[in-house]
């Protein structure tokens, strides 16, 4: 992997990784809350629908982040390797 020397790009990568982890944690929280409400028999029809919608949204966000957004970030990082080689007088 290419060393990321630009501080802003490094922050993008760090925040991307943090965002993925946060999405996963939030999904786990939603599932736990849904299960807790179901166990308490709290108006399951209303809660079930809201949780199902939000879980689909979270899943979609994760898929987009882990799919096209990740691919774009990877391409950007690959480009920095090419630029670093050019700066060193090498061409790949």
What's the pLDDT score for residue 91?
66
Quick check: is 81 in a domain?
A: no
Only one residue has tokens 């882990």, namely 66
- Percent of the chain surpassing pLDDT 90: 49
For the chain, how many structural domains are there in total? 1
The residue segments making up the domain with residue 12 are 1-28+42-76
As a whole number of angstroms, the distance between CA 61 and CA 40 comes to: 29
- The predicted model scores a pTM of 0.77
Alpha-helical regions (H) of the chain: 7-39, 44-64, 70-87
Quick check: is 8 in a domain?
A: yes
Q: What is the pLDDT along the chain (92 residues), one digit of tens a residue?
A: 557 778 888 899 999 999 999 999 999 999 999 999 888 887 767 788 889 999 999 999 999 999 999 999 888 888 777 776 766 777 65
Quick check: is 57 in a domain?
A: yes
Quick check: is 34 in a domain?
A: no
Quick check: is 35 in a domain?
A: no
Quick check: is 37 in a domain?
A: no
As a whole number of angstroms, the distance between CA 53 and CA 34 comes to: 12
Quick check: is 61 in a domain?
A: yes
Quick check: is 86 in a domain?
A: no
């Amino acid at each position: 992997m290419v060393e990321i020397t630009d501080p802003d790009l490094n922050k993008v990568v760090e925040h991307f990784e943090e965002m993925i982890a946060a999405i996963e944690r939030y999904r786990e929280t939603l599932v736990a809350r849904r299960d807790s409400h179901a166990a308490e028999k709290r108006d399951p029809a209303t809660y079930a629908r809201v949780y199902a919608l939000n879980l689909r949204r979270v899943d979609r966000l994760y898929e987009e982040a882990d799919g096209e957004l990740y691919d774009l970030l990877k391409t950007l990082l690959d480009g920095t390797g090419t630029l670093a080689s050019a700066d060193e007088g090498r061409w790949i």
